[in-house]
Homo-oligomer: A and B are copies of this chain.
């Protein structure tokens, strides 16, 4: 094990205690990312106990002009926590759920709280913290806020930003910005909360938050539907929203080749339908009201009965080709497992390139056809897999290029981004920018917006020590 003694590390050991300043091999667990890759070596890994120690670290780093990179659950997908030569500041010890206030419908949590732990704590009060995604057992609140994470039920509850009332953050110079409000309406100056959320630790390090809780659905009604087109699927979405008081919690698109890949990988799995279809939708309704959720003598809940009526009606009209409603928890789990296999299925082949893009809802069909044309122009016949949060207009593309050539990989990524941008979309929907989408920022972000972002960065972090190199491309890029 390497040990280093520099004035900086001595200061940090004095502030945190030796046990919480890791160097050498001890840093290994913090360097392995969600994809299993080992990332560049930090100067040290720091594990502060509380906000005051985070402030100590930033004061120390400011004095020594040393970069600091925050990390929490380490489940990011854009290399946003790469910390070569920097101090990697882990928030994992700030893991207290300080308070659940059921009557105010809020939770007060620290940045190192694991998402699944907050789910459990809210559940004990018959409430939910709605944010959820595959990595919920590892992902922490700090990272979710810093990347404005999305997930599977944004269509009903919004992204992380929409679920947060207040934050506490430590600035580059160590000052603590206390915006820990539990108030729903607060127009007292600039919206610094939303500026720090999604800034990926480049403007400040979020240490705590006040989060909104929501009533827990009393029942879930889950279904698979095959549609003749994306347009028909959107018709189903809009009709369900209008007829169930916006109770759609998930509306996920799995194209035909996604289903094929799932069945190939899991030969014991059942196909969703007898025939193969191109547009397969997994949808889930959350029945919040007793009237929607109280089972009748057959065990069906009224919302399920209503869904079956809508599906039958649209089947008759030709807007649905086949449909099946989950009859029990096992069938619901089977539907979720098919959707949550995405991370596994997209990594079946190598090399892989991927995109996390979004378009307005009424442009999704054009996005899908456009991507096929554009990627084939770069790498003819390139196989790919889509999976989409269709309710949010958010598509995840994974392609398997015919070559290892990094220029071709980059050209494929760019081709997909170009299609999204040409349809009024975004090259970055829910995973953030980090390092990997910085080139896209340079190519596609409104140059005035980039310039304003750089001005804000310079104003808040004049030495550039907070997660340097992330989010904002250099002017020359």
Contacts of A472 in B (CB 8 A): 189
Q: For A292, what are the chain B residues with a Cβ–Cβ distance below 8 Å?
A: 245
Chain B residues in 8 Å Cβ range of A362: 101, 103-104
Residues of B within 8 A of A171 (CB): 448, 452
User: Is B234 in contact with A456, judged by CB distance below 8 angstroms?
Assistant: no
A454 to chain B, nearest CB (A): 9
Q: A361 in the interface, Cβ–Cβ < 8 Å? A: yes
Cβ of A185 under 8 Å from chain B: yes
Give Cα A158 to B181, complex, Å.
16
Task: Tell me, yes or no, whether A406 is within 8 Å of chain B by CB.
Answer: no
Q: Mark A284-299, 1 if CB is under 8 A from B, else 0.
A: 0001111110000000
Could you tell me if A195 and B195 are in contact, using CB atoms closer than 8 angstroms? yes
Which residues of chain B are near A103, meaning CB under 8 Å?
Answer: 234, 238, 361-362
A456 touches B459 (CB 8 A): yes
A215 CA / B358 CA spacing, docked (Å): 22
CB–CB B181/A430 < 8 A? no
State whether A191 and B182 are in contact (beta carbons under 8 Å apart), knowing that A243-B289, A459-B455 are contacts in the complex: no
Determine how close the nearest CB of chain B comes to the CB of A209; give it in whole angstroms. Answer: 14
Q: Is A247 an interface residue (CB 8 A)?
A: yes
The interface-forming segment of A31-39, A66-74, A134-142, A146-154 is A146-154
Residues facing B in A143-191 (CB within 8 A) are: 147-148, 150, 154, 158-159, 161-162, 171, 175-179, 181-191
- Copies of this protein, total: 2
- For A415-438 the 0/1 string (1 means CB < 8 A from B) is 000000000111111111100010
Q: For residues 358 through 415 of chain A, which have their beta carbon under 8 Å from a beta carbon of chain B? A: 358-363, 389, 392-394
Q: Which residues of B contact A446 (CB under 8 A)?
A: 177-179
Given contacts A187-B430, A187-B432, A459-B455, contact A192 B449 (CB under 8 A): yes
Chain B contacts of A178 at CB under 8 A? 446, 448-449
- With contacts A446-B179, A449-B179 taken as known, whether A187 is within 8 angstroms of B393 at the C-beta atoms is no
Q: Does A281 contact B (CB under 8 A)?
A: no
Contact assessment for B189 and A426 in the assembled complex, using a CB-CB cutoff below 8 Å = no
Determine the interface band of chain A, counting residues with CB < 8 A from chain B: 35 or more
Contact with B along A338-361 (1 / 0, CB 8 A): 000000000000000000001111
The residues of B that contact A246 with a CB separation of less than 8 Å are 214-215, 245, 288
Do residues B162 and A185 form an inter-chain contact, with CB atoms below 8 A?
no
Interface string of A238-256 (1 = CB under 8 A from B): 1001111111000000000
C-alpha spacing A188/B186, complex, angstroms:
25
Which residues does chain B contribute within 8 Å of A234, judged by CB atoms? 103
Q: Are A445 and B188 in contact (CB under 8 A)?
A: yes
Q: Is A269 an interface residue (CB 8 A)?
A: no
Whether B104 lies near A361 (C-beta < 8 A) is yes
Q: In the complex, are the beta carbons of A105 and B361 less than 8 A apart? A: yes
Query: Given that A234-B103, A243-B291 are contacting pairs, would A190 and B184 also be in contact in the complex, using a CB cutoff of 8 Å?
Result: no
Give me the 6 closest cross-chain CB pairs, A-B, nearest first: A103-B362, A245-B288, A194-B194, A182-B360, A459-B459, A185-B429
Query: Can you spell out 24 A-B residue pairs with CB atoms less than 8 angstroms apart?
Result: A106-B360, A150-B187, A171-B452, A175-B451, A176-B448, A178-B448, A179-B446, A181-B424, A181-B426, A182-B360, A184-B361, A185-B429, A187-B198, A187-B432, A189-B450, A190-B453, A194-B194, A195-B195, A215-B242, A243-B291, A245-B288, A291-B302, A455-B459, A456-B460
